[in-house]
Structure 1
Amino acid sequence: MKQYFVEITAAYVPKNKAHEQIQEFVRTFNCNLVDEKEKAKTIEAINSKLEEVNKTFTRCNDIRLSGWIHENETIAIDGNFILTFKEVKNRKV
């Protein structure tokens, strides 16, 4: 089973309380080692938190999640931070 190192590669100054809450939540996943199931649960948890934050802060624009895969799978939220899942590969010495 694949394993991933979860890392926040960029975190910017939050532009409002909604962004601040989601950034604090995502920081709890920083520097964790997860497998494929935990990775899916992490993404699901972030989506759930986004829904909660968007409902709480109705005066703010809804926060959107975007993602892409290049070498690693990356998630970004409105330019507020970038969370990367880096696949851990075994090295033979």
Structure 2
Amino acid sequence: MGNLQIPTNTLDLFIRSVEISSYLPGRVRLHSKKLIGNPGLEQQVQQQLGAFREIERVETNTVTGSILIYYVPEILRTNRDLRKVEEYIMTHARRR
């Protein structure tokens, strides 16, 4: 199988459904067209990402579709699944 990356959980599916706008260790900005004008989805995103104790804060904006995630890299990386997501984000972030 090698380097084939198949989504293995809800987090994988979520991260592949959004555009990764920017990445800095400790701060990730995602963009989702589905979030625009969708307060129900905003609440879901807040609840699901907010459930991770390794994530400090999540800011969402239903006008722009922005999802801003703040975390302490050393703490986040203690969670194997979140570490894999961060690695995916690092390699797929849009370069400016």
Return the TM-score normalized by structure 2: 0.33
- Select the structure with the greater relative contact order (CA < 8 A; seq sep ≥ 6): 1
Larger Rg: 1
TM-score normalised per structure 1: 0.33
Give 1 or 2: higher strand fraction.
1
